[in-house]
A and B are shown apart, each in its own frame.
Chain A
Amino acid sequence: MQRRRLTRGISPVIATVILVAIAVSITLLAFTWSKALIPEQLTIGGKNIQLVCADVVFEATYTQGVLRIANMGNIPIYSIEMRRNLQGSYTTARIQNVTELQPGAIFTLTFTPDDAKSITLYPILLGSSNSGDQTFTCTEHGITITLQ
């Protein structure tokens, strides 16, 4: 008779506690797993860097072998990515000499286009995240210059 009572199982309170513990553990596991899938968010002044890209205002001209880039907005441009548009293909490289282009600042570069028909310049911004500062290329906010 006593044995039967013992085999009844654990008390409902303990069972509930265990259930809650399991639920919390599963939630934590799912959260940790999903965190790895979601890319880390970069921000500038608490604003998502993708939105900040829309606020970047810069102008670029190419005349007599001189590429001129001026930051006409209020967002510092960390660097510039240049895409050389060739016949049916393109190459991409970051302009090495650009140090952070502060609002109102200008950058000039003597540059030979080689076979490029046109160049597209994309601003690169420096955003902050939990794991430190990272760069982000505003690929939807480029300026294309047609070369003669």
Chain B
Amino acid sequence: MKKLLRLQNKRAVSEVIGYVLLVAITLSIAAIVFVSLKTFVPKDTVQCPEGITLTLSDNSCTYTDATGSTQVQLNLNFTNTGRFSIDGYFIRASSGSEPDLIIHPLDSFFVAFDTGERVENKIAFTPIAEGLKPNGKQHHRFVITGSENQELLVKKIGIIEIIPYQNSEQEDKPIICGNARVLERITCKDAD
């Protein structure tokens, strides 16, 4: 009788170990599969919301050569006609009417007039914490001088490209609104 009991006990133990092993192996395989596929789970991508619209109006561009040094003064009037605040923009210009040649960044020529501020390679609407609210307006000025930009100055600005951005709340970098890009033809006139 004792022997029989012993045998039964042994069987029970081996069955439990069998189950434990099975569960352990299953968990290990599940863990390996999870770790290897974890990165493939799609995450929310940082992107600009629909409804960002920046409008330019009543712009002016004057070209002077009076003092012997060439100079282009560009006045841009921005209106936020979208549904969300815009924190700033990237600005580039073409030296001619060819849109494919918009290769000259203009941020370094920004002149802090009454609104706006240059932040690294972009221009921010002020106050920086608020940006340009819907229906808000701002006037920005760029004065382009210097021999390095002779090509741009001689041929004059043909098209300017404005790419709005919003500041990300989570990350310390701007969210580019490539879909809301503005291409504006500019006609520079000689100053009187």
Task: Evaluate whether A72 and B17 lie within 8 angstroms (CB atoms) in the complex, with A104-B165, A105-B121 already known.
Answer: no
In contact, A31 and B122 (Cβ under 8 angstroms): no
In contact, B100 and A27 (Cβ under 8 angstroms): no
Query: Once the chains are docked, how many angstroms separate the CA of A48 from the CA of B45?
Result: 12
In contact, B176 and A72 (Cβ under 8 angstroms): yes
**B-facing residues in A37-96 (Cβ within 8 Å):** 38, 41, 43, 45-48, 50-51, 55, 57, 61-64, 66, 68, 71-74
Is B178 on the interface with A (CB-CB < 8 A)? yes
**Chain A hits for B14, CB < 8 A:** 12, 16
In contact, A103 and B174 (Cβ under 8 angstroms): yes
In contact, A12 and B13 (Cβ under 8 angstroms): yes
The B contact surface, by secondary structure, is mixed
Shortest distance between the CB of A87 and any CB in chain B (Å): 25
Contact with A along B122-143 (1 / 0, CB 8 A): 1000000000000000000000
Contact size range, B: 20 to 34
Contact of B176 among A12, A63, A68, A73 (CB under 8 A): A73
Contact of B100 among A20, A45, A68 (CB under 8 A): A68
Q: Closest B-chain residue to A47, C-beta based? A: B43
**Chain A hits for B112, CB < 8 A:** none
In contact, A48 and B39 (Cβ under 8 angstroms): yes
**Chain B hits for A68, CB < 8 A:** 100-103
In contact, A106 and B103 (Cβ under 8 angstroms): yes
Query: Once the chains are docked, how many angstroms separate the CA of A101 from the CA of B20?
Result: 53
Contact of B103 among A31, A46, A108 (CB under 8 A): A108
Contact of A72 among B21, B121, B122, B181 (CB under 8 A): B181
Is A29 on the interface with B (CB-CB < 8 A)? no
Q: Closest B-chain residue to A43, C-beta based? A: B39
In contact, B46 and A74 (Cβ under 8 angstroms): yes
**Chain B hits for A74, CB < 8 A:** 45-47, 173, 175-176
Query: Once the chains are docked, how many angstroms separate the CA of A71 from the CA of B32?
Result: 37
Query: Once the chains are docked, how many angstroms separate the CA of A61 from the CA of B100?
Result: 6
Contact with B along A13-43 (1 / 0, CB 8 A): 0001001100100010001000000100101
Q: Other than the known A31-B32, A41-B39, A66-B103, what 10 A-B pairs have Cβ atoms closer than 8 Å?
A: A12-B10, A16-B13, A62-B100, A63-B98, A63-B101, A64-B98, A72-B176, A72-B181, A105-B121, A106-B105
- A-B residue pairs in contact (CB < 8 Å), sample of 10: A12-B14, A16-B13, A27-B28, A47-B39, A47-B42, A66-B103, A72-B178, A73-B176, A74-B47, A74-B173
Enumerate chain A interface residues (CB-CB to B < 8 A).
12, 16, 19-20, 23, 27, 31, 38, 41, 43, 45-48, 50-51, 55, 57, 61-64, 66, 68, 71-74, 103-106, 108
